[in-house]
Structure 1
Amino acid sequence: MAGMIVVALWAFAEAIVLFIVADVPISALALRHGWKAGWRAAGLAAVCAAFGGLLVIAWARTDPAGARETIAALPGISSELTTQAADDFRSGGWLAMLAGSFSGTPYKLYALAAESDGSGLPGFFVTSIFARLPRFLLVAAVFSATGSAIRHRLPSWLIAVLFALGWSLFYAWYFMQLGALP
């Protein structure tokens, strides 16, 4: 239960200002507890992220400069990436969000773009879920399969260390690619 609360809060926060994706707690639950916990976490994360996206839209409608400046100050977010996400959203809608989910474009940028584009809130909410869910389910599947393969072969402390190391290395690489790290 506590793990699902973490997933819900993390996904909501990541949609707004957190810059470490909800894949981290989803993968932790799937690794430790298997596919059932993983797909539940994935579904919950997609819904909670969609609520976070609605908050970004509302924020951008009431304080456009504040929302854009705050999000632009987050690690890995550049004006070029923000412009690209807006252009992609205008031309591709939810399919752009789906592609962005797999290419590393932060979801919050699509929420900003949706506000600028005048997208309806119910439509954005529903399409956000469908755009985010496939990646979350893929993460849950990969980590539940990994957990099944190693859970009985390695001590839990080593699995935890490898998990933390793996995500740390991934984020070091990701932020270096975006120019957010030296």
Structure 2
Amino acid sequence: MGLRDRLQSLTLLAFVWGVAEASLFFVVPDVPVSLIALARGWQAGLRAALAAAAGATLGGTALAVFASHAPETAVALVDAVPAIPSAMIARLQATMAGTDSAAGLAGVLIQASLSGVPYKIAAASAPGLGIPVWELALLTPLVRLPRFVALAAAGAALHSLTPALPRRIQPVRVRLLLAALGWSAFYGAYWSKVGG
């Protein structure tokens, strides 16, 4: 497999991960986006970030469409995802219900994204709160992309530091292992905090 094929495969991985996480998967696309950037640099990381945001838009929109037909079932499915307590769902729903404009909703979703509240809660809840699916679909890339790009930039920055690293941690596999351990520690702490 050539470099171009590998990059396309990594971009597809980020897209599929974005679809899955925006609906019912529990590990954010930030993980593959940052690892791709760490291994392949800024351009690959940016492509992965864009693909993950597109996937999140598709996955979140699909969940919202489902929720428009079966709102209670959609919320129950999200409630069954690991590390999503019912209290977290209720808090985000109450905050979303208090918004009176698309800009207000965008602010709520950005704040939720930055504080570790899974986006899928908003996607499953929006139709039941009277928020149109199209509005959620338009806001999704605006809400998800900045964080993905920031993590791609962080991964790419670490990628560019490779020559300055001690020789024993320069190989890509070693750096990816260290990053995977970092993400594992992050999720261990997050899940213990939210009761996952």
Q: Which runs of 5+ in 1 are unaligned?
A: none
Question: Does residue 19 of structure 1 match 2:26?
Answer: yes
> Residue 83 of structure 2 corresponds to which residue in structure 1?
76
CA deviations over 1:2-31 (Å, ceiling 9, x no partner): 001100100000000000000011111111
CA deviations over 1:27-57 (Å, ceiling 9, x no partner): 1111111111112211221121011111111
What's the CA shift for 1:151? 6.2
Q: Which amino acid aligns with 1:13?
A: A
> Residue 39 of structure 1 corresponds to which residue in structure 2?
46
Aligned ranges 1:1-182 → 2 under 5 Å: 1-90=8-97, 91=99, 92-150=104-162, 153=165, 154-180=170-196
**TM-score, with length taken from structure 1:** 0.93
Counterpart-to-counterpart distance in 2, 1:151 and 1:11: 32
> Residue 3 of structure 2 corresponds to which residue in structure 1?
none
| Alignment length (residue pairs) | 180
Greater Cα radius of gyration, structure 1 or 2: 2
Structure 1 stretches of 4+ with a deviation exceeding 4 A read none
Counterpart-to-counterpart distance in 1, 2:78 and 2:136: 19
Point out the more displaced range, 33-42 or 148-157.
148-157
Q: Which runs of 5+ in 2 are unaligned?
A: 1-7
Change (3 A) 1:167 1:151: farther
Counterpart-to-counterpart distance in 2, 1:121 and 1:68: 15
What's the CA shift for 1:123? 1.9
**TM-score, with length taken from structure 2:** 0.86
What's the CA shift for 1:149? 0.8
Point out the more displaced range, 79-88 or 17-26.
79-88
RMSD: 1.4
